[in-house]
Chains A and B, each alone.
Chain A
Amino acid sequence: MDLQFSDDDVHFRDQVRTWLREHAPTEQRPHDRQALREYDLAWQRTQWEGGWAGISWPTEYAGRGASLTQQLIWYEEYGALGLPGIDASFVGLNHAGPTLMARASEEQKSIHLPPILRGDVVWCQGFSEPGAGSDLASLSTRAVVDGDELVISGQKIWTSFADVADWQELLVRSDPSAPKHKGITWVICDMHTPGIEVRPIETMDGDREFCEVFYDEVRIPMTNVVGRLNEGWGVAMSTLAFERGTAFTLSQVRLAKTVEDLIEAARWRTGPDGRRPAIADDELARRLATGRAEVAALRAMTYAGISRSAHQGSPGPEGSIIKLYYSELAQRIYRLAFEILGDDGLHFVSRWAPDGWSGHYLYSYSLSIAGGTSEIQRNIIGERVLGLPR
């Protein structure tokens, strides 16, 4: 680990900061789903035009090809300015795109990668099913080969942005007689194909980002299969490994900013005794101090992880330690935020709005579930890091 940035990196940071200040959207992110899609894609397009799109993508795919340190700097500056994430582009940039780079044919790459970077398309992820959550490999959405097409029937769930997506990275059961990891295929699904029905799911924070997706004899050309038929599990795993890399820095920087905002708020908000500011309350002050210490440790772990990635080439199962630590820490911090709000916490403010802490508090319950539950992360740490028996 090295905290000292080279002159090049310092220069890079200045460049990033200047560019972000001049080009980042200043309007509030809209609520309407279609408008939100356009907002996110426009911001992605701006990044593309400025030469910043795909910060972690290699240059051979027209990405920025930044070093790990530079990616870290990008996310640190991005987070410090409190900019909205490009959520509609998230799956394309961080899941589907990297998977295509690793496993797709040249033709598939040339069709699909450039539009992701340019902000032309939205991708979504069709992995989880009602019967296949933590046990993803037990998925049962069926794919039957019919000539040069796959015919797909079944259901996916927890699909963010399915309602406004153009493409989906879809996992299907193509050989029901094979052992469960061996009969899965990873396929590119055009979300405008007949037979697809998308129903939004309202979550406990009032958001409608998740959807259920139903497939009724949906026909997908065989040329959309990535990797080979029945070898989709390995293809999917290359996606999950990418998920726990540097993109996580942004969440960590945002959490650090939240703690600082909270300390500021605790100085002027009335505390639980109804007289003094919240920060004068010993318990709240201790929890805020702990928050500062633990967010610092989260950053230190991120730096250590990035330095390990730089030497080993991939983040490894240690990524689960950071994910677990972040999820639990973020929940403690948003719970603290909610308590600092006092009775104002009952006033619901969406997490997309300024000071949307009550919304963030509700949202924080998803953090230990999404992207692999904390229980699954603990299994991974226990078995793959510590070597405990299964």
Chain B
Amino acid sequence: MAAALLAKTMDNGQGDARRRTSAIGPRQWAQFAELGWFGLSLPEERGGVGYGMAEEALLFREIGRHLAPGPFLACTLGARVALAGGADELATAILTGEITVGLAQARGAAFEVGDLVSGTFDLMDAVDVSHVVVVTRNGAALMAAEALGRPEQLPCIDPAVSLGRVHVEQAPAIVHASGATDRIFERGSVLAAAMLAGIGEATRDMASVFGKNREQFGKPIGVHQAVKHRCADMAMRAEAATSQVMFAALAIDEGRPDLEFQTAAAKVVAGDAGIGNAGLNIQIHGGMGYTFEHDAHLFLKRAHVLDRMLENKQQHMARLIDLPAAQ
């Protein structure tokens, strides 16, 4: 159902929904909130839907597949941070869609996230939001947007993502949660990986459909192994990504001791699938794939944004090699 709703929203007949940060309006956002999308994995008695990470990952895979823009991840994590810190009213406002939350992530290692927040932060989807959630491996904090002052706005490679940067010293947080609390960083990483897996699947399907329909030399280009085998590789990477994302989501749900390992593995494998498949999809579409008009580049750009979201691939790999073996 989420898939159908997202498809309807993103394919509004104007063809530019995937190119605008504002493609999802307040009414649409309220509808998503009403469906419980920002609290799928929160317990019912705290205003959530009472599902697990697995269901939440399935939703985010659809969000990625449809390139839906907007602060889905930040609102989901923000509600959780608010509840962890006892700011129940704030959590309710996020869960009902009354307010929206942008994402901030630390740049470099010199930052502090506690009652007070210091450091340089990259902001994503943090325009026209009332709050910002800072998410790092060492802890998370929910802040009023104005506590960040006036961030510098930068053009983002992805036209549907707004990017900003800000430096703050000792800015007050409303609530904060330590690194291990509620596994906020791991949840966010798995959800980012789920969106990457969705991109891996969407581009696999686009390339396959194109391979069936596009004819040259009197036959569909998909009969050629040069095309067919690339599509097969895309299927392989997408399958690996989706399987590992689901494994990591279940590992978090079940509190497995290797959940950090599984999360890092999901981010690494899904990053390869998202970026790798999106790149191959451009190649298979030839000249059309390189145009702004065609959607192929949008998947690549979103994949790069998501790959950098909540630590990039290199950072997850560095963590992965230091952890004990999987269970």
Expressed in whole angstroms, the Cα–Cα distance for A230 and B208 within the complex equals 37
Q: Which of A2, A293, A299, A378 contacts B320 (CB 8 A)?
A: A293
Cross-chain contact A385 with B318 (CB below 8 angstroms): no
* Central interface residue in B223, B232, B233, by most chain A CB within 10 Å: B232
Expressed in whole angstroms, the Cα–Cα distance for A124 and B147 within the complex equals 73
Cross-chain contact A289 with B320 (CB below 8 angstroms): yes
Tell me if A16 counts as interface (CB < 8 A to partner B).
Answer: no
Per-residue CB proximity of B107-144 to A under 8 Å, as 1/0?
Answer: 00000000000000000000000000000000000000
Tell me if A346 counts as interface (CB < 8 A to partner B).
Answer: no
Tell me if B225 counts as interface (CB < 8 A to partner A).
Answer: yes
Expressed in whole angstroms, the Cα–Cα distance for A3 and B326 within the complex equals 13
Chain A, Cβ-Cβ closest to B258: A296
Chain A, Cβ-Cβ closest to B229: A378
Chain A, Cβ-Cβ closest to B243: A300
Cross-chain contact A4 with B254 (CB below 8 angstroms): yes
Chain A residues within 8 Å of B318, by CB:
285, 289
Cross-chain contact A388 with B314 (CB below 8 angstroms): no
Cross-chain contact B225 with A375 (CB below 8 angstroms): yes
Measured as residues with beta carbon below 8 angstroms from the partner, the interface class of chain B is: 35 or more
Cross-chain contact A381 with B236 (CB below 8 angstroms): yes
Chain B, Cβ-Cβ closest to A285: B321
Chain B residues within 8 Å of A290, by CB:
268, 317
CB distance from B293 to the nearest CB of A (A): 25
Q: List 7 A-B contacts (CB under 8 A).
A: A286-B317, A289-B318, A299-B247, A381-B236, A382-B231, A388-B208, A389-B222
> Which A residues between 358 and 379 are near B, CB-CB below 8 angstroms?
375, 377-379
In the complex with contacts A288-B321, A289-B317, A382-B222, A297-B208 CB distance below 8 A: no
Q: Which of B222, B236, B246 contacts A300 (CB 8 A)?
A: B246
Count of residues in A whose CB is under 8 Å from the partner chain? 42
Stretch of B75-83, B259-267, B274-282 on the interface side:
B259-267
Chain B residues within 8 Å of A260, by CB:
325
Cross-chain contact A3 with B247 (CB below 8 angstroms): yes
CB distance from A367 to the nearest CB of B (A): 15
Stretch of A28-36, A192-200, A204-212, A317-325 on the interface side:
A317-325
Tell me if A189 counts as interface (CB < 8 A to partner B).
Answer: no
In the complex with contacts A285-B321, A300-B247, A389-B222, A294-B240 CB distance below 8 A: yes
Expressed in whole angstroms, the Cα–Cα distance for A4 and B326 within the complex equals 15
Cross-chain contact A289 with B268 (CB below 8 angstroms): yes
> Which A residues between 301 and 355 are near B, CB-CB below 8 angstroms?
301, 303-304, 318, 321-322, 324-325
In the complex with contacts A296-B326, A325-B240, A381-B235, A303-B247 CB distance below 8 A: yes
Cross-chain contact B317 with A382 (CB below 8 angstroms): no
In the complex with contacts A324-B236, A389-B212, A256-B326 CB distance below 8 A: yes
Tell me if B55 counts as interface (CB < 8 A to partner A).
Answer: no
Tell me if A390 counts as interface (CB < 8 A to partner B).
Answer: yes
CB distance from B163 to the nearest CB of A (A): 27
> Which A residues between 244 and 266 are near B, CB-CB below 8 angstroms?
256, 260, 263
Cross-chain contact A389 with B223 (CB below 8 angstroms): yes
> Which B residues between 227 and 258 are near A, CB-CB below 8 angstroms?
227-229, 231-233, 235-236, 239-244, 246-247, 250-251, 254, 256
Expressed in whole angstroms, the Cα–Cα distance for A325 and B243 within the complex equals 13
Chain B residues within 8 Å of A292, by CB:
261, 265, 320-321, 325-326
CB distance from A297 to the nearest CB of B (A): 4
Expressed in whole angstroms, the Cα–Cα distance for A387 and B235 within the complex equals 12
Tell me if A298 counts as interface (CB < 8 A to partner B).
Answer: yes
Cross-chain contact B235 with A321 (CB below 8 angstroms): yes
Expressed in whole angstroms, the Cα–Cα distance for A291 and B282 within the complex equals 27
Q: Which of B219, B232, B240 contacts A389 (CB 8 A)?
A: B219
Cross-chain contact B247 with A388 (CB below 8 angstroms): no
Cross-chain contact A289 with B250 (CB below 8 angstroms): no
Chain B, Cβ-Cβ closest to A1: B246
Chain A, Cβ-Cβ closest to B207: A386
Chain B residues within 8 Å of A390, by CB:
223
Cross-chain contact A300 with B208 (CB below 8 angstroms): no
Cross-chain contact A296 with B247 (CB below 8 angstroms): yes
Chain A residues within 8 Å of B233, by CB:
378
Tell me if A137 counts as interface (CB < 8 A to partner B).
Answer: no
Tell me if A165 counts as interface (CB < 8 A to partner B).
Answer: no
Tell me if B269 counts as interface (CB < 8 A to partner A).
Answer: yes
Cross-chain contact B239 with A321 (CB below 8 angstroms): yes
Chain A residues within 8 Å of B261, by CB:
292, 296
Tell me if B69 counts as interface (CB < 8 A to partner A).
Answer: no
Chain B residues within 8 Å of A301, by CB:
239-240, 243-244
Tell me if B204 counts as interface (CB < 8 A to partner A).
Answer: yes
Q: Which of B208, B211, B232, B250 contacts A378 (CB 8 A)?
A: B232
Tell me if B220 counts as interface (CB < 8 A to partner A).
Answer: yes
Chain B residues within 8 Å of A300, by CB:
240, 243-244, 246-247
Chain B residues within 8 Å of A279, by CB:
321
Q: Which of A285, A303, A388 contacts B223 (CB 8 A)?
A: A388
Expressed in whole angstroms, the Cα–Cα distance for A279 and B318 within the complex equals 11
CB distance from B250 to the nearest CB of A (A): 5
Cross-chain contact A386 with B232 (CB below 8 angstroms): yes
Cross-chain contact B243 with A304 (CB below 8 angstroms): yes
Chain B residues within 8 Å of A135, by CB:
none
Expressed in whole angstroms, the Cα–Cα distance for A300 and B248 within the complex equals 9
Chain A, Cβ-Cβ closest to B227: A388
Expressed in whole angstroms, the Cα–Cα distance for A285 and B314 within the complex equals 11
Cross-chain contact B235 with A385 (CB below 8 angstroms): yes
Cross-chain contact A389 with B246 (CB below 8 angstroms): no
Tell me if A383 counts as interface (CB < 8 A to partner B).
Answer: yes
Expressed in whole angstroms, the Cα–Cα distance for A301 and B227 within the complex equals 24
In the complex with contacts A292-B321, A293-B268, A298-B231 CB distance below 8 A: no
Cross-chain contact B222 with A388 (CB below 8 angstroms): yes
CB distance from A184 to the nearest CB of B (A): 26
Chain A residues within 8 Å of B314, by CB:
286
Chain A residues within 8 Å of B223, by CB:
388-390
